[in-house]
Amino acid sequence: MNKVVGHRVELSEIATSNTHGEDSPYFAGWKAYDEDPYDPVNNPSGVIQMGLAENQVSFDLLEDYLEQHPEASNWGNGISSFRENALFQDYHGLKTFRKAMASFMEQIRGGKAKFDPDRIVLTAGATAANELLTFILADPGDALLIPTPYYPGFDRDLRWRTGVNIVPIRCDSSNGFQVTLKALEAAYAKAEAAEMKVRGVLLTNPSNPLGTAVARAVLEDILDFAARKDIHLISDEIYSGSVFASPEFVSVAEIVEARGYRNCERVHIVYSLSKDLGLPGFRVGTIYSYNNRVVTTARRMSSFTLVSSQTQKTLASMLSDEEFTKYYIRTNRERLKRRYEYIIQGLERAGIECLQGNAGLFCWMNLGPLLEEQTREGELRLWKLILHEVRLNISPGSSCHCSEPGWFRVCFANMSLHTLEVALTRIYDFTQKSKTIKSLIN
Amino acid sequence: MTREELLSRKASRNCHGQDSSYFLGWQEYEKNPYHPTTNPAGIIQMGLAENQLSFDLVESWLEGHPDAGELKRDGVSVFRELALFQDYHGLPAFKNALAQLMEEIRGNEVRFDPAKLVLTAGATSANEILMFCLAEPGEAFLVPTPYYPGFDRDLKWRTGVEIVPIRCSSSNGFKITKMALNAAYRRAQKHDLRVKGVLVTNPSNPLGTTMSYDEIDTLLDFVASKDIHLISDEIYSGTNFGSPPFISMAQAVSGRANILARVHIVVSLSKDLGLPGFRVGAIHSNNESVVSAATKMSSFGLISSQTQYLLSQLLSDKAFTANYIRENTKRLKRRHSLLVKGLESIGISCLKSNSGLFCWVDMRHLLNSSTFEGEMETWKKIVYDVGLNISPGSSCHCDEPGWFRMCFANMSEETLHVAMKRLKEFVAEGNGNGGNSCGRSRSKSETKMTKWVLQSSNADATNGKSERFIINRSCPDALSLSIILKSYNTLVVVTVAVYATPSVYLTSTICTISEPTSSPSESEEIKDIIPQMIVATAESRERRNQFRCDRKVEEYEHMRWPMPTSSYGERFRLKVDLKEMQQQSALETVAAEMETKQIYSRSADRKVDSGSVGLMWKWMTGSGYHRIIRLKHQSTLA
């Protein structure tokens, strides 16, 4: 008897809490997909996964590279290189890899920002990078302000183990979900009213789930706001290499440089190779901070989440090849652009509008007109209908804390063009059917 | 907001422990690393528990299996599937192979279910994840001393969990006893820390020993009776090169259904396979909730899929693993005996061990004084003069000065010979000779001390005649001050800890006496010194702004005195309220107290005044980890 009770109470609150958010529709949809995944030949009526922001459009480029450079993934003939590599657990990371990362990040920004390899802290993915920064910048009970809609995983990454709160900066469709000073001030006031100490703003730029890059003027406003309130700005730029159309992406790094590094100690950038290079399995994330103490502390903390030295070595070799990286960045952008245009046109045919996007692996789709009622419940009912009837797993805006019902994130780069075509046909059929039903009712 | 305030408390705090001597020695090594030809006078790294003895085995396997490294299967690229693989359940093939390796290392006497394995980026992360899963901030885990210095970072830093040491001593080969377990538990309780579990390293780092059945039984009984968790960190399980054979907690717990779900095992490939760079650790737990929560948490430190793939290929090759385990332990055994014999020949003995990549070396006789200050002195000589980076026991929170950890598997045999040669010369030069050797043979009559004398720390090295110390060895964040009163046949530890409520008011003080004292007069003296320690501790806390101390010893309700024998090793709560007392008068009170007790400063003719007491506090509360104040027996000053 004692035992049963004991087992309930003996774990930590963190272990038993739901803050990891894995019970939300965002993750529930994944489970539905896992149970019945679409396959063009074996399971043509299965669920198509459109909830996963993966980049599969440029794999062949990486494969070709590895084929031509077997030494990148192996240890060549030099036996001692394996030894050295297997023992390398210095939390500074392989110097060659950090240099290659810095230069890759510069290339992505068109050379408009400089990155010092000694400020690069490596982490096993951006998930860990964001958590690390939260541990370093905020105490339990403090708050970070984040514009909505935001990546559902933040509820886990930023809050779960750190005890930090997220206070949403409410953005809406009236201005294309752009962050305004008014919304920033409102969020700040809200946090203060709840007696939370605001420690920073976290921005994803380009935005996940919106698929838009933040305008320079907005970025300037946010940085000014952070300076005025004496708080941090974390700029999560993991989609920076996936900007495929104008307006051009502006990194906070450019603004920091343009301002002569004034107030730069509050600015921290998160980057990863999971999206731009399509390598989530390799777990490579990085923190780039202009604050020396943050760099030192983050490096020490990175002991909990180091990148495999084998993987560092492979990627150091790949990313040091500038000819290859230039070609990759350009080709990957072209392919994403084509994909984006393809899905937008397909959705248009089905009578669906999207927020005008220029980046990312997804579009932000407005199904508001299809809702029976303009509420979160209405949105989730439609989401379930699409999941179970149309057999598409898309992410409801409410899972991204969107303040308006009816928006959905649809990923387009994690499948073949053929699968995308099937998905678009299903959506078309669905909207046609809805129209018919509506007209019949009316 | 000041710049300091811009960061979190975790970022500002020093709990990562990277400023300790353990890490300082590394820095020295990095500045001047030994190389047989290019830098033969450089420092030899013996502080790094790396296994470099069996790389050739892995290398020749890789040569025979190029596909594994080149991300291919039967010549066809598997890059695409690996690049995308980020399922936190891990590659099934890798988990199966890892579970089998764990079984093989444990003589196939126990089964591991891959579904109960959680993969993590190294054991560092595995241990932290378990802390996050099992304890709240401010709760405690008991850890036997000496322990791996990194635990202060891994277990405490981000989780806010406290480590309460289970004090083990050389008298029984640093074994865990029921008494030590209970003492640690009570100590935690007296600190109002809820104990959530025990964490042991088995085989032990830094001891290099494995736990016996009796020890394990004691531990499991304790865990069962207290209804707490047990984490068995078994990252050195594959290094068990001698008898007695290693017994995994998984084997020991198999017959105990009542605690099966409370025993969690941590493993890694960093030591056994010598692959720390690949960051492969794992948790095995029979507790579904722990597995589920830990799996979700592993998102913060997943293993590269490329590495998982390579290792799944390597570890599924049964011929390879069998040969590796056999050959690796054979080589470790040879190395171990080389070091042990080398040390023996120069009169240095080691704790008898059967595992690990290091020896626990007894250099107590080389210390000028058997204090932690003496240990640091000797350690510095060994690092700077002898050119060996070894780890002092104090960095492992060992309770006895004079023990050092020496690693033997991260260098060539030639380098090990050079290290032995250097050490031999050092000992032959007579360093440390005459240290406390005379002290050990002191007659009993001389141990009957009547008065203590406070002596300013760095004034003079002790002549070894008698040693009385006030030591605050704790990290600057700890709220305690201890004195170790060491006479020739007894070791008495008096610890005073001052408590503050969350609202930063001093509430109470707790005092510990470790052992019965040898004479009534000695215990009287301990009694006398306690009030001073309380004030000194409170003051030092306040100086660090840890709480507001209103500086008045208003009420000092005495403990029962002399203490009943059965209570030794326990803490006694003294009701003390330090309100409204001015700092100057506090100093004067203590000065007067010391005057009355005839406690003098080093210069025998100078009487203690509030100024010198103030100086003493200033010194005591200064920066650094080791703040020691000598107490000298008055007779030795004559």
A367 domain-assigned: yes
pLDDT of residue B82: 86
Inter-residue contact B46 to B22 (CB < 8 Å):
no
Q: B3: how many CB neighbours lie within 10 A of its CB?
A: 9
B203 domain-assigned: yes
Taking contacts as CB-CB distances below 8 angstroms, the residues of chain A near B6 are 137, 230, 232, 265-266
For residues B176 and B213, state if they share a domain: yes
Q: Which amino acid is at B382?
A: I
For residues B46 and B67, state if they share a domain: no
Residue B135 has pLDDT above 50, yes or no: yes
For residues A131 and A164, state if they share a domain: yes
Segment holding B459, helix H or strand E? none
Number of H helices, E strands in chain A: 17, 13
For residues A298 and A330, state if they share a domain: no
Q: Residue B164 — φ and ψ, nearest 5°?
A: -110, 120
Residue B572 has pLDDT above 80, yes or no: no
For residues B356 and B417, state if they share a domain: yes
pLDDT per residue as tens digits for the range B384-404: 899 999 999 999 999 999 999
pLDDT per residue as tens digits for the range B271-283: 989 899 999 999 9
Of A142, A155, A157, A236, which one is the catalytic site residue? Answer: A236
Whether B217 is catalytic is no
For residues A85 and A169, state if they share a domain: yes
B619 domain-assigned: no
A442 domain-assigned: no
pLDDT of residue B520: 53
Strands (E), B107-243: 117-120, 140-144, 162-166, 195-201, 229-233
Q: What is the CATH number of the domain that holds B346?
A: 3.90.1150.10
Nearest beta carbon to residue A308 from set B134, B278, B293: B278
Nearest alpha-carbon partner for A315 in A305, A303, A328, A302: A328
pLDDT per residue as tens digits for the range B218-270: 999 999 999 999 999 999 999 999 999 999 999 999 889 999 999 999 999 99
Which strands sit side by side in the sheet containing A407-411, from one edge to the other? A353-354, A362-366, A407-411, A395-396
Q: Which two tokens stand for residue A148?
A: 């909505």
For residues A182 and A226, state if they share a domain: yes
Sequence-separated (6 or more) residues with CB below 8 Å from residue B334:
none
Q: Which residue, of A300, A321, A342, is where some domain finishes?
A: A321
Residue B116 has pLDDT above 70, yes or no: yes
pLDDT of residue B255: 87
A196 domain-assigned: yes
Q: Which two tokens stand for residue A133?
A: 């920064």
Inter-residue contact B129 to B306 (CB < 8 Å):
no
Nearest beta carbon to residue A281 from set B58, B84, B258: B84
Average pLDDT over residues B404-424: 95
pLDDT of residue B505: 34
Taking contacts as CB-CB distances below 8 angstroms, the residues of chain A near B66 are 74
For residues B421 and B278, state if they share a domain: no
Q: Which residue, of B395, B429, B463, is where some domain finishes?
A: B429
* Chain B interface test: which of A308, A309, A313, A416 (most B C-beta within 10 Å): A308
Looking at residue B287, the DSSP 8-state letter turns out to be -
% pLDDT > 90, chain B: 52
pLDDT of residue A16: 82
A45 by Cβ neighbours in 10 Å (0-12 / 13-18 / 19+) ranks as exposed
Question: How big is chain B, counted in residues?
Answer: 638
B21 forms bridges with which residues in the sheet?
A: none
Taking contacts as CB-CB distances below 8 angstroms, the residues of chain B near A309 are 277-279
| Inter-chain touch B86–A140, beta carbons under 8 Å | no
Taking contacts as CB-CB distances below 8 angstroms, the residues of chain A near B84 are 54, 56, 278, 280-281
B458 domain-assigned: no
Closest chain A C-alpha to B261 CA, distance in angstroms = 8
A1 domain-assigned: no
Q: Which residue, of B406, B429, B452, is where some domain finishes?
A: B429
Q: Which residue, of A299, A321, A343, is where some domain finishes?
A: A321
Q: What is the CATH number of the domain that holds A56?
A: 3.90.1150.10
Nearest beta carbon to residue B158 from set A6, A82, A135: A135
Separation CA B582–CA B550 (nearest Å) = 8
Nearest alpha-carbon partner for A150 in A138, A136, A167: A167
For residues B231 and B250, state if they share a domain: yes
For residues B341 and B273, state if they share a domain: no
pLDDT of residue B568: 32
Q: Compute the mean pLDDT over every residue in chain B, rounded to the nearest whole number.
A: 74
For residues A317 and A331, state if they share a domain: no
Separation CA B624–CA A281 (nearest Å) = 43
* Chain A interface test: which of B279, B283, B305 (most A C-beta within 10 Å): B279
Q: Which residue, of A290, A321, A352, is where some domain finishes?
A: A321
pLDDT grade for B22, boundaries at 50, 70 and 90: low
Whether B271 is catalytic is yes
- The total number of structural domains that make up chain B: 2
For residues A353 and A260, state if they share a domain: no
Going by their DSSP bridges, the two strands A395-396 and A198-204 should be labelled as: unpaired
For residues B337 and B365, state if they share a domain: yes
Of B147, B175, B185, B233, which one is the catalytic site residue? Answer: B233
Among chain B residues, CA nearest to A229: B1
Looking at residue B604, the DSSP 8-state letter turns out to be T
Whether A151 is catalytic is yes
Chains A and B: how many Cβ contacts under 8 Å?
A: 229
For residues B103 and B189, state if they share a domain: yes
pLDDT of residue B465: 28
| Inter-chain touch A128–B305, beta carbons under 8 Å | no
pLDDT of residue B76: 83
A68 domain-assigned: no
- Coil, helix or strand for A310? helix
Q: Which two tokens stand for residue B459?
A: 């004034």
| Inter-chain touch A232–B70, beta carbons under 8 Å | no
Nearest alpha-carbon partner for A131 in B298, B525, B495: B298
Separation CA B506–CA B551 (nearest Å) = 9
For residues A51 and A104, state if they share a domain: no
B101 domain-assigned: yes
Nearest beta carbon to residue B80 from set A59, A82, A230: A59
Q: What is the CATH number of the domain that holds A195?
A: 3.40.640.10
* Chain A interface test: which of B226, B278, B295, B309 (most A C-beta within 10 Å): B278
- A246-255, A256-265, B91-100, B592-601: which range is least confident on average? B592-601
- Domain coverage including residue A209: 74-321
| Inter-chain touch B62–A82, beta carbons under 8 Å | yes
For residues B293 and B396, state if they share a domain: no
Q: Residue B163 — φ and ψ, nearest 5°?
A: -100, 125
Closest chain B C-alpha to A201 CA, distance in angstroms = 13
pLDDT grade for B541, boundaries at 50, 70 and 90: low
pLDDT of residue A78: 52
- A206-215, B547-556, B629-638: which range is least confident on average? B629-638
- Compute the half-sphere exposure of residue A119: CA atoms within 13 Å on the CB side of its CA: 20
- A18-22, B6-10, B551-555: which range is least confident on average? B551-555
Q: Which residue, of B429, B463, B496, is where some domain finishes?
A: B429
Taking contacts as CB-CB distances below 8 angstroms, the residues of chain B near A128 are 299-301
For residues A403 and A389, state if they share a domain: yes
Q: What is the CATH number of the domain that holds B106?
A: 3.40.640.10
Q: Which two tokens stand for residue A94?
A: 């392989």
For residues A120 and A160, state if they share a domain: yes
Q: Can you say how many angstroms the Cα of residue A101 is from the centroid of all Cα atoms in its chain?
A: 18
Q: Which two tokens stand for residue B478?
A: 């700890």
What does the pLDDT profile of chain A (442 residues) look like in tens digits? Answer: 333 333 443 788 888 887 777 777 777 788 888 899 999 999 999 999 999 999 999 989 998 998 888 888 777 655 557 878 888 888 889 999 999 999 999 999 999 999 999 999 999 999 999 999 999 999 999 999 999 999 999 999 999 999 999 999 999 999 999 999 999 999 999 999 999 999 999 999 999 999 999 999 999 999 999 999 999 999 999 999 999 999 999 999 999 999 999 889 999 999 999 999 999 999 999 999 999 999 999 999 999 999 999 999 999 999 999 999 999 999 999 999 999 999 999 999 999 999 999 999 999 999 999 999 999 999 999 999 999 999 999 999 999 999 999 999 999 999 999 999 999 999 999 999 888 777 766 6
For residues A316 and A372, state if they share a domain: no
pLDDT grade for B186, boundaries at 50, 70 and 90: very high
A409 domain-assigned: yes
pLDDT of residue A357: 96
| Inter-chain touch A306–B279, beta carbons under 8 Å | yes
Q: Which amino acid is at B445?
A: S
Whether B609 is catalytic is no
A3 domain-assigned: no
For residues B317 and B343, state if they share a domain: no
Inter-residue contact B406 to B46 (CB < 8 Å):
yes
| Inter-chain touch A82–B59, beta carbons under 8 Å | yes
For residues B49 and B59, state if they share a domain: no
Average pLDDT over residues B294-307: 94
For residues A267 and A398, state if they share a domain: no
pLDDT of residue B495: 44
Q: B35: how many CB neighbours lie within 10 A of its CB?
A: 11
**Cα-only R_g, chain A:** 22
A8 domain-assigned: no
Closest chain A C-alpha to B283 CA, distance in angstroms = 14
For residues A105 and A37, state if they share a domain: no
- A55-64, A81-90, B175-184, B329-338: which range is least confident on average? A81-90
- The total number of structural domains that make up chain A: 2
- Domain coverage including residue B63: 55-323
For residues B46 and B76, state if they share a domain: no
pLDDT of residue A88: 81
Helices (H), B191-304: 213-226, 249-252, 288-297
Separation CA A340–CA B620 (nearest Å) = 67
pLDDT of residue A38: 95
Taking contacts as CB-CB distances below 8 angstroms, the residues of chain A near B301 are 124, 128, 304-306
Taking contacts as CB-CB distances below 8 angstroms, the residues of chain B near A124 are 121, 279, 300-304
Taking contacts as CB-CB distances below 8 angstroms, the residues of chain A near B59 are 79, 82-83
Closest chain A C-alpha to B321 CA, distance in angstroms = 17
Matching residue, tokens 């008897």: A1
Q: Which two tokens stand for residue B638?
A: 């004559």
Cα dist from B472 to B190, B191, B303, B540, B590, whole Å: 19, 17, 40, 11, 19
* Chain A interface test: which of B7, B120, B131, B407 (most A C-beta within 10 Å): B7
Instruction: Write the DSSP assignment of B473-531 as a string of letters.
Output: -S-TT--EEEEEEE-SS-EEEEEEEEEE-TTSBEEEEEEEE-S--SSHHHHHHHHHHHH
Q: Which two tokens stand for residue A100?
A: 């290659």
Matching residue, tokens 């109002």: B192
Nearest beta carbon to residue B128 from set A281, A297, A304: A304
Closest chain B C-alpha to A163 CA, distance in angstroms = 10
pLDDT per residue as tens digits for the range B441-491: 323 322 222 223 222 222 223 333 222 333 332 222 223 344 444 332 333
